[in-house]
């Protein structure tokens, strides 16, 4: 059977010298199987004397059939926002801590990828968010998020005050430290820490989770994935909107944030037999006896 992936990119955690050895090892392994291997130029700086073609992420997005990301969830989040709009499937190799998005290990990555080259894998579509900042009717900033879009105050400012509408219908006014608009993928990240529910990644929903709300009646709410969530800022000051902890934009009084499902989902590949519930048991230590 013809290999479904003719060109594979290997992308490591930037500014980490620890990615050099596994990137080199995996690159040699794939090349020996007739796969064209390219590497991310920034992380490849740590690999001395490698013979792989180094490309930018933008060039990788236009070139490869598969991207293997070596790092933690933060690395995967960053790469997914860049490559997902181009339909590039992603495989994660965990070199971080929890690793909800990176389910291969450094020990089993070669064996797992050998099976994937033979077409033995599970495909999973993950919802992405698109968030636009509107000021006086004009779009002044936009970005994508894999986990969540968060409006929050700085450490020195007072509570955030904002109005929330769903598909144009008024939901509530809120005074809180912030609001998390989470994808199902992000439900095990900041949203979970703030008291939100764990959502199966196959669900087509969004979750709104207040952060330390002033009113105890304000609770997390789950809405349709096709919903447009609108936030209107009623207090200015040191307040910003954040995308997956990677991108920030400062907000002003009367700014409006429009959050919708992005048209192109992120595509993750897993080994055959992958189970989300097994991942939860392992990562959240649910398999430990009391």
| CA 229 – CA 171 distance, rounded (Å) | 10
Hey, is 19 helix, strand or coil? helix
CA dihedral sign of residues 224, 230, 235, 237? positive
Any residues with CB less than 8 A from the CB of 1 and at least 6 apart, and which? 118, 119
Q: Which of 73, 103, 244, 255 is catalytic?
A: 73
Q: Which of 165, 139, 151 is nearest to 230 (CA)?
A: 165
Write b or e for each residue in 252-285: b if 16 or more Cβ atoms lie within 10 A of its Cβ, otherwise e: eeebbbbbbbbeebbbbbbbeeeebeebbeeeee
- Residue-wise DSSP of 31-93: HHTT-EEEEEHHHHTTSTT--SEEE-HHHHHHH-SEEEEEE-HHHHHHHHHHHGGGT--EEEE
Tell me the C-alpha to C-alpha distance, in Å, between residue 107 and each of 21, 94, 110, 172, 213.
Answer: 12, 10, 8, 49, 44
73 as an active site residue: the answer is: yes
Neighbours of 97 (CB within 10 A): 9
Residues designated as active site: 73
């Amino acid at each position: 059977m013809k290999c479904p992936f003719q060109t594979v990119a290997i992308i490591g955690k930037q500014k980490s010298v620890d990615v050099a050895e596994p990137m080199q090892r995996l690159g040699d392994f794939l090349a020996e199987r007739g796969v064209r291997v390219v590497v991310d130029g920034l992380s490849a700086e740590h690999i001395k004397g490698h013979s792989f073609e180094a490309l930018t992420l933008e060039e990788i997005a236009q070139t490869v059939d598969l991207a293997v990301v070596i790092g933690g969830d933060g690395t995967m989040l960053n790469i997914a926002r860049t490559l997902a709009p181009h339909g590039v499937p992603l495989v994660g190799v965990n070199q971080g801590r929890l690793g909800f998005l990176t389910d291969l290990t450094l020990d089993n990555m070669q064996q797992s990828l050998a099976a994937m080259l033979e077409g033995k894998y599970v495909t999973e579509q993950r919802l992405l968010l698109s968030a636009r900042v509107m000021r006086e009717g004009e779009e002044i900033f936009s970005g994508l998020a894999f986990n969540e879009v968060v409006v929050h105050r700085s450490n020195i400012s007072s509570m955030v005050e904002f109005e929330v509408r769903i598909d144009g219908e008024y939901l509530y006014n809120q005074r809180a430290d912030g609001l998390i608009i989470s994808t199902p993928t992000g439900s095990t990240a900041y949203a979970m820490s703030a008291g939100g529910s764990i959502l199966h990644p196959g669900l087509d929903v969004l979750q709104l989770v207040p952060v330390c709300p002033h009113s105890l009646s304000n609770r997390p709410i789950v809405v349709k994935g096709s919903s447009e969530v609108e936030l209107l800022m009623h207090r200015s000051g040191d307040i910003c909107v954040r995308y997956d902890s990677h991108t920030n934009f400062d907000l002003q009084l009367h700014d409006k944030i429009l959050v919708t499902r992005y048209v192109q989902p992120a595509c993750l590949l897993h080994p055959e037999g992958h189970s989300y519930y097994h991942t939860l048991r392992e990562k959240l230590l649910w398999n430990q006896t009391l």
